[in-house]
Amino acid sequence: MIYHHLAVLVHRQAEKYGDKVALKYRDYQTAQWIPVSWKQFSDIVRVAANAMVALGVKEGENIGIFSQNKPECLYTDFAAFANRAVTIPLYATSSPAQAQYIINDAQIRFLFVGEQYQYNAAFSIFGFCQSLQQIIIFDRAVVKDPRDVSSIYYDEFLAMGEGLPHNEEVEERTSRASADDLANILYTSGTTGEPKGVMLHHSCYLEALRIHDIRLVDMTDEDVSMNFLPLTHVFEKAWCYLCVHKGVQICINLRPADIQTTIKEVRPTLMCSVPRFWEKVYDGVQEKIAETTGIKKTLMLDAIRVGKIHNIDYLRKGKTPPLMLRLKYKFYEKTIYSLLKKTIGIENGNFFPTAGAAVSDEICEFVHSVGINMLVGYGLTESTATVSCFENEGYEIGSVGTVMPDLEVKIGENNEILLRGKTITKGYYRKPEATAAAIDKDGWFHTGDAGYLKGNQLYLTERIKDLFKTSNGKYISPQALETKLAIDRYIDQIAVIADQRKFVSALIVPVYGYVKEYAKEKGIEYNTMEELLQHPKIVALFRARIDTLQQQFAHYEQVKRFTLLPEPFSMEKGELTNTLKLRRPVVSQNYKEAIDKMYEDN
């Protein structure tokens, strides 16, 4: 396999695939998916690379991309690489203050923005960012501020590169491109403290492509990938580069909330997602089973039982299922499983990488039982995504899969997972102290995650920094409890509280629709959501469900008290990071009163 530098990858693929479709994006006016061929992809990247020279982009310069998922994100990325420039993605949901920090830290002169929100945020901080010279706007529908005299639209930017006036300069820069060049700086939003810019060099991506080729042998240029997670996130970014390398068609989902519509329009064979996506699938099936009766219910339950034996007890272990079991499975495959997959939009599914949070055993078992090949994995921004992932056979439920080829993993003090290899970051941008704290003198990167190895299978136990110590001296892992309780169909979000407290409590954001339905069934009257969530019958419902789910935990680890919240945790209030992880210090601060109340009279 030839590994082309990202500076030339799109052009080499265009030579190979020509008019074959490389990308698709949705036109919201016509609800049509617009195809972009490999040749067009390559041509646009060349024009954009020339336009960057016209703008004055220098080799090694940092360029910002502040947008939701759009084809322009990829055009800009690859055009920058052709110029040996560095791209820095900002989450589309970033606040003006977050954007300001990154622009100033990375000294960004040119910022590419997506839609109105990103433009407004960027323009509002223009005066506070000394390095910032120009905003380039992807979406033509964006209305510019009347005071704005410098911003241009992307089509105007591309016009500067039409006819390739600076191609000699671009070609010369590309010829100097090396694996040692910096490709991206990915700012981790951090559950504590200010963001850190993780430096990923081209060597990190080239190695990631190589080891994924060894692991993901089923991935071919016949596959269609749904780009659902933000391209700002290392998981989706590295995945999309892998798709380009493999010749896989990428369908770009603009708005995360639209995924249930767009996935049915595209019906992809591949899609990276987070466990929450599969939790919702599981909830939907459980709800369907709950409201079904008679023979239909019996068949649904039997289908899951048969699938578990066939896929998990036999195929997972590399064993051939007995004939009767195979026949039964085939029957359910043609009926129940195929209907479920069609309803989701994944009946053409090949495999579905899933990471970003812990996957509960129940969800993992269920998804594999119904014949969906979910590849659970574990990775970090600092490791260019994948550290470990499931293989088609031999995966262990409860693990995060087998360690990737040629990546060194060892367990250090406090059971901390340590990593060493070519995909590991060389450090944090302009933060030598943070780099020295994370990478020891022997080159081992300290992940902050605790776990253990069983052969080559990696298991996570907890996030070391997040371990809570109760005032009785007992250690609690909040994620383990949150992962377990979050599978309940009535629970949308949960924050476990225990640090320096006498016992464990929780703040719970319910699925409001289900709670309202339950109230209707039970004839509970209420005026506000707050009133409903304090009703004894609703509190009792949650108490019973929580107690059932937490049975396997030691008594001191169980949630003793909880508060149901009338509004969800949000990024606006600073309670969630851009990747929707809880910022525990902010949650503790914002809900101090509610938390203190749970510890009264004790």
What confidence tens digit (pLDDT) does each residue in 220-241 have? 999 999 999 999 999 999 999 9
CA 117 – CA 94 distance, rounded (Å):
10
- The amino acid sitting at 63 is I
Q: Order across the sheet with 86-90: list the strands.
A: 152-153, 134-137, 110-113, 62-66, 86-90, 182-188, 196-201
Q: How many CB atoms lie within 10 A of CB 476?
A: 25
Written as one string, the DSSP assignment of 528-551 is SHHHHHTSHHHHHHHHHHHHHHTT
Let me know the angle formed at the C-alpha of 151 by 574 and 153, rounded to the nearest 5 degrees: 100
pLDDT bracket for residue 179 (50, 70, 90) = very high
- Whether the CB-CB separation of 408 and 421 falls below 8 Å is answered with yes
CA 199 – CA 182 distance, rounded (Å):
7
Task: Name 562's bridge partners.
Answer: 506
CA distance from start to end of the chain: 65
pLDDT bracket for residue 469 (50, 70, 90) = confident
3-class SS string, 425-450: CCCECCCHHHHHHHECCCCCEEEEEE
Closest CA to 394 of 360, 368, 420, 414: 368
| pTM over 0.85, yes/no | yes
CA 183 – CA 197 distance, rounded (Å):
12
CA 487 – CA 278 distance, rounded (Å):
10
Q: For the chain, give every residue range classified as CATH 3.30.300.30.
A: 468-598
Task: List b or e across 255-264, with b for residues whose CB sees 16 or more CB atoms inside 10 angstroms.
Answer: eeeebeebbe
Six-digit token pair at 130? 């000394």
pLDDT value for 602: 57
pLDDT value for 191: 56
pLDDT bracket for residue 85 (50, 70, 90) = very high
* Cα separation values, 281 from 269, 285, 364, 366, Å: 17, 6, 12, 10
Give residues with Cβ within 8 angstroms of 224, minimum separation 6.
Answer: 248, 249, 251, 266, 267, 268, 269, 270, 348
Q: For the chain, give every residue range classified as CATH 3.40.50.12780.
A: 9-177+216-271
CA 511 – CA 61 distance, rounded (Å):
46
Six-digit token pair at 363? 């969800």
- Whether the CB-CB separation of 453 and 459 falls below 8 Å is answered with yes
The dotted CATH code for 9-177+216-271 is 3.40.50.12780
Closest CA to 376 of 343, 354, 398: 354
Is the pLDDT confidence value at 583 over 80?
A: yes
pLDDT bracket for residue 474 (50, 70, 90) = confident
- Return the H-helix or E-strand segment holding 188: strand 182-188
Q: Does domain 468-598 have CATH number 1.10.10.10?
A: no
Task: Name 354's bridge partners.
Answer: 273, 376
- Return the H-helix or E-strand segment holding 475: strand 475-476
Longest dimension (CA), the chain: 76
Going by DSSP bridges, is the β-strand pair 504-510/491-497 parallel, antiparallel, or unpaired?
antiparallel
Region 458-482: mean pLDDT is 82
Alpha-carbon dihedral sign for residues 353, 358, 360, 363: negative
- Whether the CB-CB separation of 240 and 227 falls below 8 Å is answered with yes
pLDDT value for 346: 97
Six-digit token pair at 541? 């419902």
Region 76-100: mean pLDDT is 95
Is the pLDDT confidence value at 471 over 80?
A: no
Is the pLDDT confidence value at 81 over 90?
A: yes
Query: Distance between alpha carbon 496 and the CA centroid of its chain, in Å?
Result: 22
Going by DSSP bridges, is the β-strand pair 249-252/21-27 parallel, antiparallel, or unpaired?
parallel
CA 7 – CA 202 distance, rounded (Å):
9
Is the pLDDT confidence value at 423 over 60?
A: yes
Is the pLDDT confidence value at 508 over 60?
A: yes
3-state secondary structure of 45: helix
Is the pLDDT confidence value at 359 over 60?
A: yes
pLDDT bracket for residue 97 (50, 70, 90) = confident
pLDDT value for 192: 56
Is the pLDDT confidence value at 466 over 80?
A: no
pLDDT value for 190: 61
Region 296-306: mean pLDDT is 96
CA 51 – CA 222 distance, rounded (Å):
33
- Whether the CB-CB separation of 457 and 401 falls below 8 Å is answered with yes
pLDDT value for 559: 96
Question: Following CA atoms 455, 461, 466, 471 in sequence, which dihedral angle do they give, to the nearest 10 degrees?
Answer: -130
pLDDT value for 318: 95
- Tens-place pLDDT, residues 124-175: 999 999 999 999 999 999 999 999 999 999 999 999 999 999 999 999 999 9
- Whether the CB-CB separation of 103 and 198 falls below 8 Å is answered with no
Q: How many CB atoms lie within 10 A of CB 317?
A: 9
pLDDT value for 55: 98
Give residues with Cβ within 8 angstroms of 51, minimum separation 6.
Answer: 79, 157, 158, 159, 160, 161
pLDDT value for 95: 87
pLDDT value for 521: 94
- The amino acid sitting at 322 is P
- State the average pLDDT for the chain: 95
